[in-house]
Structure 1
Amino acid sequence: MTNAQTTEISEPLPRETIANLIAAIASQPERYALFFDIDGTLLDLAETPDAITVPNGLTDDLKALSHHLDGALALVTGRALSYADTLFFPHRFPIAGLHGTERRMLDGQIIRAEPTAEFLDVKQRLATLPESFPGVLVEDKGGAVAVHFRQVPELADHVGEAMRVAIAKAGPGYELQRGKMVLEIRPDSADKGRALDAYLAEAPFAGRIPVAFGDDVTDEAMFKLVNAKGGISIHIGAPTDSTLARKRLSKPQAVRDMIATILRKQL
């Protein structure tokens, strides 16, 4: 297998079905670059971020798929890069963590934005939020901070107000990102679309058809970028009119089954 080094993205097959896509990736891996969100896409969602589990065999399947693609596989996630590494240990993939705030390239080089003093102060203040709102979970991601209220959805308005105050104190350079039962403050210079675009400018991703898998509003920037480049955007979850993705898989297990099927077909 050889890396595609052309400067333009190839056009995908018209009205390509998931079955056709599986067959194409299995037989023509040099044409494709695959980008996966993690939570809700590769892995089933859990009540808390730390309760996420990695199914047996998935890490090795991802490594085998990356090898099949000559390395043109990346994870694009809201998780911190270091945490994503623990999920898929011992393998290390190109990862855009914190929605692209930090990004590891295929050669291992890491690019990341440094937090400001104002943002660090905001993180300290938010860490005390569960004292006022039991059941709320504050996740310190280093360059970003997320407040989860999946266990106490009735507190959504209170969390929203607290985060609006916090983003104002964080100052310029930060934005409030909404997700599934979570609000996050992160640098405004990064999103998953920009992270994916940066990968597509580098070998071995350059010149390939991008295929992006995601389940949340944070993945919409990735879908928009992929659609603009003639790629394939795949939403994971129930049918919805609120996504830019043009194809759908029902749940993370369907994504894992797709990966396993590609590997079986290419043997």
Structure 2
Amino acid sequence: MKSHPEQLLKDLSEREDLFLAFDRDGTLVDYADHPDLAVMNEELKKTLLALARLSGVEIAIVSARSIKALERDFDAGDGVSLAGNYGLEVRLRDGSDIVEAAIAEAIPELKTILQRLEPLAGEDTGGIIEDHGLSICLHWHRIERNKMSFVREQIQAIREDLDKVRFHDYPTSFEFIPDIDWSKADGLRVLESRLGLLERDVFSLFFGDTDSDEPGFEWSHARGGSSVRVGSPKVASIAKYRLERPAQVGELLSRLLELRRSRV
């Protein structure tokens, strides 16, 4: 894995067609104590929009967040495609929407889970619920240690009733998502197909910061593309390049924009 992707930048500046896809939180935006406080830097947003307006460049965000949440960053018509809930829902750059049909059976169960999680959120307990519509995340990093045993008991009770929904236990959150074979790689495949990239010689590059982004790296490599993992270099990854902070992603994209513009 390379720490300074100078060669990658050179390759990107010379390729005719690019598909640049990004995880959001931890990759483009620093993590915050509350999800609502993780706001995208305006300069980064301008850079992404400018890249999206260039001929031969496709920009996409592939996130665990919902499309509704991602639309706080990019409006329909901005030229940026959004893949929410790992790509289970997609809003293409032209504003058209796609939702994975296989998740329909899980929606009623997710609504029930949301109701059961509500007592774990708020001031009394300290949890933060993100209702993504097609998935639910309970952030527990604010919950006091003496309350965690109670929280885990409630989570276990919910898990025992799961049928159409899958559970993920992450370092600071619990996630409930439809129980189907799906990852960000599948979301990228949907984008690739619907954006017409299969018919073009496109160089793909996926940026991510957690293990849930690794399938996206693998997808990009299988198509002759590349990948960048953001975060500690001590964490194992199949990504070909490494950056330590979201700010460095912004710097790389600013330089890429300058190089692409200089070709005209």
What is the TM-score normalised by the length of structure 1?
0.83
Report the counterpart of residue 3 of structure 1 in structure 2: none
For the structure 1 residues 108 and 191, does the alpha-carbon distance in structure 2 shift closer, same or farther, using more than 3 Å as the test? same
Percent identity over the alignment is: 25
Report the counterpart of residue 183 of structure 1 in structure 2: 174
Of residues 245, 248, 252 in structure 1, which corresponds to 2:246?
252
Structure 1 residue 161: deviation in Å? 4.6
Contact 2:47–2:254, Cα closer than 8 Å, also in 1: yes
Structure 1 residue 136: deviation in Å? 1.4
Deviations 1:87-112 (A, max 9, x none): 23473521110111211233322122
- List gaps (5 residues or longer) in structure 2: none
Instruction: Give me the whole-angstrom Cα distance separating, in 2, the residues matched to 1:264 and 1:157.
Output: 52
For the structure 1 residues 33 and 180, does the alpha-carbon distance in structure 2 shift closer, same or farther, using more than 3 Å as the test? farther
Of residues 201, 215, 225 in structure 2, which corresponds to 1:221?
215
Report the counterpart of residue 6 of structure 1 in structure 2: none
Report the counterpart of residue 116 of structure 1 in structure 2: 107
3-state SS of paired residue (2:242) = strand
Moved more, 17-26 or 135-144: 17-26
3-state SS of paired residue (2:113) = helix
Deviations 1:220-266 (A, max 9, x none): 22122223333212110011343222221110000010111111122
Kindly tell me the number of residue pairs found equivalent between the two proteins: 251
Alignment of 1:9-158 (within 5 A): 18-30=5-17, 32-68=18-54, 70-89=56-75, 91=78, 93-112=80-99, 113-114=103-104, 115-130=106-121, 134-152=125-143, 154=145
Runs of 4+ in structure 1 deviating by more than 6 angstroms, as ranges, are: none
For the structure 1 residues 177 and 221, does the alpha-carbon distance in structure 2 shift closer, same or farther, using more than 3 Å as the test? farther
Instruction: Give me the whole-angstrom Cα distance separating, in 2, the residues matched to 1:242 and 1:16.
Output: 13
Structure 1 residue 24: deviation in Å? 2.2
Contact 1:178–1:217, Cα closer than 8 Å, also in 2: no
Moved more, 189-198 or 106-115: 106-115
Instruction: Give me the whole-angstrom Cα distance separating, in 1, the residues matched to 2:223 and 2:241.
Output: 16
Contact 2:127–2:139, Cα closer than 8 Å, also in 1: yes
In structure 1, give the amino acid aligned to 2:134: G
Across the aligned residues of Structure 1 and Structure 2, the Cα RMSD in angstroms comes to: 2.5
Instruction: Give me the whole-angstrom Cα distance separating, in 1, the residues matched to 2:256 and 2:144.
Output: 38
Report the counterpart of residue 8 of structure 1 in structure 2: none
Structure 1 residue 160: deviation in Å? 4.7
Instruction: Give me the whole-angstrom Cα distance separating, in 1, the residues matched to 2:84 and 2:122.
Output: 28
For the structure 1 residues 209 and 157, does the alpha-carbon distance in structure 2 shift closer, same or farther, using more than 3 Å as the test? farther
Moved more, 158-167 or 52-61: 158-167
Contact 1:179–1:217, Cα closer than 8 Å, also in 2: no
3-state SS of paired residue (1:151) = coil
Deviations 1:113-162 (A, max 9, x none): 44432221111111121269622111111111101022237466654553
Moved more, 256-265 or 133-142: 133-142
Instruction: Give me the whole-angstrom Cα distance separating, in 1, the residues matched to 2:175 and 2:48.
Output: 28
